[in-house]
């Protein structure tokens, strides 16, 4: 009787090991997301020495965005930037200069995420003191 209980316990342990052997590799593998044709994360264009200037309704510059490289991804409707530099102009105030190691433009070009050694500098004038900020990440709404 004792011998048959031991056989039953050993059989249960072997069955549990067999189930784990089949289940565990599948549980540890990250599923691959199947993209439809045209949805691959591949750039459709790359621009080197990129510069864009946005103008106000009065024809004055609102901001100037430059980067050493812009890579556009159509599946996300976004672009990555290398060494982005942004100059923002506000009438009656000093310009604000922002630089970073990397950037990402998204939300139809209305938002910019700058990352990696982000520096923001503002000049001084009679009504506003100069300032400088350093951070690792900064989100900027452009419009």
The predicted-structure confidence for 57-112, as pLDDT tens digits, reads as follows 989 999 999 999 999 998 888 999 999 999 999 888 889 999 999 999 998 889 99
pTM of the model: 0.68
Give the whole-angstrom CA distance, residue 76 versus residue 84. Answer: 19
Query: Where does the chain show beta strands of DSSP type E?
Result: 45-55, 61-73, 78-82, 85-88, 96-99, 102-106, 111-122, 131-141
Residue 61 DSSP label: E
């Amino acid at each position: 009787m004792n011998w048959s209980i031991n056989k039953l316990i050993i059989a249960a342990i072997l069955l549990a090991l067999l189930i784990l052997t089949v289940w565990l590799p599948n549980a540890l593998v990250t599923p691959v997301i199947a993209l439809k044709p045209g949805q691959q994360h591949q750039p459709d264009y790359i621009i080197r020495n990129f510069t864009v200037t946005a103008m106000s309704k009065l024809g004055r510059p609102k901001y100037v965005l430059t980067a050493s490289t812009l890579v556009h991804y159509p599946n996300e409707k976004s672009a990555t930037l290398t060494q982005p530099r942004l100059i923002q102009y506000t009438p009656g105030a000093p310009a604000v200069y922002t630089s970073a190691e990397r950037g990402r433009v998204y939300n139809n070009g209305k938002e910019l995420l700058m990352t990696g050694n982000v520096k923001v500098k503002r000049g001084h004038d009679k009504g506003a003191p100069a300032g400088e900020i350093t951070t690792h990440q900064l989100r900027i709404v452009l419009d």
